[in-house]
Amino acid sequence: MGELAAAEPLLALPAAPYPATVIVTRTVAANAAVAFRGNFYSVPPGLAGTTVQCRHRLGTATLQVHSAAGARLASHRLEPDGAGVLVRDPGHAAALEAAVLAAFTTSPPCQRKGNHPPSPAARAEAARLLGGLDGGEVAVDLARYAELAEAVGR
């Protein structure tokens, strides 16, 4: 067997590493960003809660974010792993600001509904639903539970 191995020459190592791509699925947060290796990278607003793919080709310094259908949503320069950095594209920042300001209103809040006692009709309906219980009857006798607890505690 050793003679066969010695007769087979090995090829030279490749000049560059194999171009593998790391693809992970992430959910877009409410702030229009996705988490990847301890950092956050922006996507266009309006995608909160959707699933996207983060793609990093090994040996490069970029991260591409693609929709579930495969459309590229963003491309960012990678930050060091675990730095806790939020990388936001200027276009994404402007669009997010516009979306937030569009949702802002100067209208006063809705008036709260007053806390009014039940009407006679509501009381009559409650009595009908309770099946004629007048409130004096005991639905659950807690005294029996107390007797059982004393018996167990002895």
Tens digits of residue pLDDT in 45-95: 999 999 999 999 988 999 999 999 999 999 999 999 999 999 999 999 999
* Separation between Cα atoms, residue 108 and residue 98, nearest integer Å: 21
Is residue 2 domain-resident? no
Please count the structural domains in the chain.
Answer: 1
Is residue 47 domain-resident? yes
Beta strands 72-77 and 62-67, pairing class? antiparallel
Portion of the chain with pLDDT greater than 90, in percent: 52
pTM passes above 0.85: no
Q: CA gyration radius for the chain?
A: 33
Is residue 87 domain-resident? yes
What residues make up the domain containing 54? 21-103
Is residue 62 domain-resident? yes
Is residue 68 domain-resident? yes
